[in-house]
């Protein structure tokens, strides 16, 4: 497959609108589809805000903002979105039946053979592809939030994924300036979220058991080892410390680590109470008197600064 020029992004939520924005920044023509004009309008506003913040930070030129937005074409119609696409990326909510329905609809409207990718963060690619006629076209292409900042994309080959779709996802990732990570098996959570959720499970366990407060847990992760992990990753960190050291400590510690199969009771209780974090104004922290847009902007600037230190 040659260079991709036209992409369709199905879903204009937090991930979809950010992915569409990055494709457009890379010079591609983007059709961004969602079910209502209101959702598309909010996505457009978010994209404009992100671009202005990027311009203020020197990541793009102010003069480029209008051109990038001009390459994103919102629509509520599947056929309009995918009819002439070279590549289709689904970014619908993480509901298997919904994703399956989207893929059936997209397959019927997209040109034959065009790769159909899913941005799912953990649902089996094989299960998503179960309803399509040609599962060889379906591949996982998992972006990370925020997609305009995090520079890695996880590519997942489902049991039926063909070489053409897999290679197209790999090539497109490189084309838009992102780094490829290949998840070698179509397992729940793929590679990234399996590692992340192991950390989150133990953090929740320490919180529930009174081993540490939310503040202490965050401080420990952020200040004690996250900085090192940003520059070397866990496997290189093991090499640095010595695998023998890990072996000896793990023999003592591993048996006491959380191995629960169910979701954290603390998290379930928070969901029941509606204290969901930033989106509700309260989670582990109280954001009542916090400007959420300013907080997100600050975090984005911090991540961008860290990326510069990490190098190419």
Tell me, what's the pLDDT at 1? 62
Please give the structure tokens belonging to residue 131. Answer: 């309803």
Instruction: Name the least confident of 18-22, 204-208, 210-214, 300-304.
Output: 300-304
Which member of 17, 124, 148, 154 is catalytic?
A: 154
DSSP state of 2: -
Residue 264 is a catalytic residue: no
Model confidence at 307, pLDDT cuts 50, 70, 90, reads: confident
β partners of residue 180 = 153
| pLDDT tens digit sequence for 193-240 | 999 999 999 999 999 999 999 999 999 999 998 888 988 999 999 999
Marked catalytic residue, from 118, 119, 121, 124: 121
Query: 11 pLDDT exceeds 70?
Result: yes
User: 114: how many CB neighbours lie within 10 A of its CB?
Assistant: 23
Contact indicator for 177, 26 with CB cutoff of 8 Å: yes
Which pLDDT score is estimated for 299? 86
Question: Could you tell me the pLDDT band of residue 310, with boundaries at 50, 70 and 90?
Answer: confident
What's the gap between Cα 150 and its chain centre? 8
Give the tokens for residue 39.
């959702």
Is the pLDDT confidence value at 159 over 80? yes
Pairwise CA distance, residues 4 & 45, whole Å: 26
pLDDT for 237-275, tens place per residue?
Answer: 999 999 999 999 999 999 999 999 999 999 999 999 999
Catalytic residue among 48, 73, 127, 193: 193
Degrees, nearest 5: CA angle 188-191-195 = 95
Q: What is residue 72's predicted lDDT score, i.e. its pLDDT?
A: 98
Q: Could you give the 3-state DSSP secondary structure of residue 204?
A: helix
CB 47 within 8 A of CB 69: yes
- Picking from 53, 133, 85, 114, the residue whose alpha carbon sits closest to that of residue 297 is 53
**Catalytic residue check, 142:** yes
| Alpha-carbon 266 to chain mean position | 25
User: Residue 120: phi, psi to the nearest 5?
Assistant: -50, 145
Task: Please report, for residues 198, 202, 203, 205, the alpha-carbon distance to residue 249 in angstroms, rounded to integers and kept in the order given.
Answer: 18, 17, 19, 19
Average pLDDT over residues 120-128: 95
The label of the residue with tokens 């953990």 reads 122
Question: Would the pLDDT of 278 be above 90?
Answer: yes
């Amino acid at each position: 497959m040659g260079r991709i020029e036209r992409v369709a992004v199905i879903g204009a939520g937090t991930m979809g609108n950010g992915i569409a924005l990055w494709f457009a920044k890379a010079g591609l023509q983007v059709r961004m589809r969602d079910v209502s004009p209101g959702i598309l309008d909010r996505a457009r506003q978010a994209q404009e805000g992100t671009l202005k913040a990027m311009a203020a930070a020197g990541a793009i030129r102010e003069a480029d903002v209008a051109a990038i937005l001009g390459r994103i074409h919102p629509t509520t119609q599947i056929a309009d979105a995918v009819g002439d696409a070279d590549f289709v990326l689904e970014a619908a909510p993480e509901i298997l039946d919904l994703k399956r329905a989207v893929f059936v609809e997209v397959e019927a409207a997209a040109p034959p053979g065009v790769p159909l990718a899913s941005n799912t963060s953990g649902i089996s690619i094989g299960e998503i592809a179960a309803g399509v006629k040609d599962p060889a076209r379906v591949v996982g292409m998992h972006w990370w939030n925020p997609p305009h900042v995090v520079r890695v994309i996880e590519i997942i080959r489902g049991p039926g994924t063909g070489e053409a779709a897999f290679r197209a996802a790999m090539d497109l990732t490189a084309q838009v300036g992102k780094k490829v990570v290949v998840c070698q098996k179509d397992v729940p959570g793929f590679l990234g979220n399996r590692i992340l959720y192991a950390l989150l499970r133990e953090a929740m366990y320490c919180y529930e058991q009174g081993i540490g407060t939310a503040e202490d847990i965050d401080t420990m992760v952020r200040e004690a080892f996250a900085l090192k992990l940003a520059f070397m990753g866990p496997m290189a960190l093991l090499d640095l410390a010595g695998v023998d050291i890990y072996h000896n400590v793990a023999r003592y510690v591993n048996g006491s680590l959380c191995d629960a199969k169910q979701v954290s009771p603390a998290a379930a209780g928070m969901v029941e109470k509606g204290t969901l974090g930033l989106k509700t104004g309260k989670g582990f922290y109280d954001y009542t008197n916090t400007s959420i847009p300013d907080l997100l902007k600050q975090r984005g600037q911090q991540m961008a600064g860290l990326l510069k230190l990490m190098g190419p």
